[in-house]
Structure 1
Amino acid sequence: MNKIIISGGPGSGKSTLLIALESSGFQCVPEVSRELIRQEVARSSECVPWKDLACFARLCLGKMIFDFENVSYDNLTFFDRGIPDIIAYLRFGGLPVDDAFMTAAVTFRYAAEVFIAPPWEAIYINDNERWQTFSEAAALYSEIKKVYTELGYQVTELPLASVEKRVEFTLTKLERIEYK
């Protein structure tokens, strides 16, 4: 399976790593939630995570399934978050996880190796789409890691290092697994 997840809590450097991987010539799928938040805010919608997380989770699920189904199996592709992240966000928000999310997490499987960026306070910043405190981001990281583990993924923690070192770490690990 050539669909590789880069996950972690908000503000941990995931998107920066994905941008660097894309600059190196790899196919990358950006984080769905940022795009959807911008769209929903522009429409003055209530379907944003800080107002209606359940609604927003359903939007994310639809887009993530679309992205999963429309990426070539032939190319190594990196995803900024995967379907299991939605489950973690719902749990973290104290909301029930209905069968649609669990079914999707089982049906749309990514590569067994998932890379996860740990909380890193030195680089953490808030912005228009990232409203969580650092403590909330760290707690969310723990829930994300737990969900991927429960779903049978091998979770590999990224080092707290420069983006160049993270790229090198990721690609070296993938070479050992023999992704092509």
Structure 2
Amino acid sequence: MIHKPDLFALTGGPGAGKTTLVRALQARGLTCVAESARAIIREHGGRPPLPRFAALMFDRDLAHFHAAEGPALLDRSLVDAWGTYRTAEGERLVRTHRYNPRALIAPPWREIYVQDAERDQTWHEAVASFELCARAYEDAGYRLVELPRAPVEDRADFVLALMASLSSARPGESRDPS
């Protein structure tokens, strides 16, 4: 098992403000890893068929897991790929590649939800996706911490404070004493 407690997963349905939050945290100097699914959809000119889409997400999310050094925030993780397409191999990856035991989840937020070229889900599908994410993380043994429905700067403060309290190194600080 590989455990990286300084890597924090961010999950939730589409249109809940995850990408905006990631950008705000990056602007504050936190290492953040972009969501795999959006990149895959862009590269393929749309969403590939589910088995292929899930395989591509697993591959990217596994590479992100191995490459990322904490403290860092990952916009989605292996758990999200597994929640999308539950395979035995995906479950093995989720069980053997562990992030911080607390995962952040962005709740559905109707007032900020918009569709775009890469977000083709309806509001009801977005809510269902949130529930799917929550179930996957709970099934994988993570404890979810719900983000407040608040302005992005307040959300960023919340995330940084939580990460600082749970991480072996404060965001922006080196764990190397030299």
TM-score normalized by structure 2? 0.88
Runs of 4+ aligned structure 1 residues displaced above 6 Å come to none
Supply the distance in 1 between the matched residues of 2:95 and 2:13 (Cα, whole angstroms).
22
Deviations 1:99-135 (A, max 9, x none): 1111111121111110000000111111111110011
Aligned counterpart in structure 2 of residue 139 of structure 1, from 128, 138, 148: 128
* 1:23-172 equivalences in 2 (<5 Å): 23-41=27-45, 48-49=46-47, 52-72=49-69, 75-90=70-85, 97-172=86-161
| Aligned-pair Cα RMSD in Å | 1.2
Helix, strand or coil: the match of 1:161? coil
Contact 1:88 1:140 in 2 (8 A): no
Shift of 1:178: 4.5
Contact 2:6 2:167 in 1 (8 A): no
Change over 3 Å in CA distance of 1:24–1:106 after alignment to 2: same
Matched, 1:9 2:13: yes
Contact 2:107 2:130 in 1 (8 A): yes
Deviations 1:19-38 (A, max 9, x none): 11111001110011111111
Consecutive unaligned residues in structure 2, runs of 5 or more: 170-178
Consecutive unaligned residues in structure 1, runs of 5 or more: 42-47, 91-96
Aligned pair count?
165
Shift of 1:154: 1.1
Helix, strand or coil: the match of 1:54? helix
1:131 maps to a residue whose letter is D
TM-score normalized by structure 1? 0.87
Q: What percentage of residue pairs aligned between the two structures are identical?
A: 33
Change over 3 Å in CA distance of 1:84–1:131 after alignment to 2: same
Shift of 1:62: 0.5
Supply the distance in 2 between the matched residues of 1:134 and 1:31 (Cα, whole angstroms).
20
